[in-house]
Amino acid sequence: MTDATASNWNVPNALTTLRILMVPFFGWALLHDGGDSITWRLVAFALFVAAMITDKVDGDIARARNLVTDFGKIADPIADKAITGMAFIGLSVVGDIWWIVTIVVLVREWSVTLLRLSIMKNVVIAAAQSGKIKTVLQALALSGLCLPLRQVDGALDVPGDVLFYISQVLLAGAVAMTLWSGYEFFRDAWRQRHQMRTSA
């Protein structure tokens, strides 16, 4: 339940804002030295994981303490899509993700986000299980690919390659769930709009 009197100045919104501010630093760390710096790839990994953790934490706090605000409803999905979008774009720039995958995912993510924001006052689409699976797979795949798995050598060479391809498999699953959950969202949104027009 949303508390209409909840102030925008609260911990969940502060974490959301922090996540947005992290995006350019994450992008810089990921792309530093063409993505070949082991140190900066580790920094990028740490920033991405921190962003994913705060994404979960701020939502849990907001619901548990009744601190859901209009700012949070708008800023939270934007922060989420900004950090994952930066990860997709950055990893495509350094050659770890095909550009076609990034384009397809970003078109789906931003179209769903913009539609959700545009209709949220009239239509409420509950988060589907497929969307939650998509989020987990994306987080695991992108965090794994942020690591310098192809930059390490010696004893870490083979484990790095194995983890890289495991991350690619997780990414394939994430893309499949991204497309399926997007289809479910547009289907449910259309059904609700149609029911509202019929009842009116």
pLDDT confidence of residue 18: 95
**Residue 2 — pLDDT band, cuts 50, 70, 90?**
very low
171 within domain boundaries: yes
Distance (Å, whole) CA 131 – CA 86: 19
Cα 58 → chain centroid: 14
17 within domain boundaries: yes
CB-based contact 134:179 (threshold 8 Å):
no
188 within domain boundaries: yes
Give pLDDT tens digits for 36-85: 999 999 999 999 999 999 998 988 898 888 888 888 888 898 999 999 99
Classify 27 as helix, strand or coil: helix
Angle between helices 70-93 and 129-146 (to 10 degrees): 40
Give pLDDT tens digits for 92-124: 999 999 999 999 999 999 998 888 777 766 666
Distance (Å, whole) CA 43 – CA 146: 9
**Residue 3 — pLDDT band, cuts 50, 70, 90?**
very low
Query: Which residue range is the domain that position 193 belongs to?
Result: 11-199
Distance (Å, whole) CA 80 – CA 115: 15
CATH code of the domain containing 141: 1.20.120.1760
- Identity at 7, one-letter amino acid code: S
pLDDT confidence of residue 200: 62
Q: Which residue's entry shows tokens 């102030």? A: 7
Q: Which of 162, 26, 6, 36 is nearest to 87 (CA)?
A: 26
Other beta carbons within 10 Å of 144:
20
21 within domain boundaries: yes
Average pLDDT, the chain: 89
5 within domain boundaries: no
Q: Is-above-0.85 flag for pTM?
A: yes
3 within domain boundaries: no
Split into its structural domains, the chain has a count of 1
Other beta carbons within 10 Å of 73:
14
Give pLDDT tens digits for 129-183: 888 899 999 999 999 999 999 999 889 999 999 999 999 999 999 999 999 999 9
pLDDT confidence of residue 120: 62
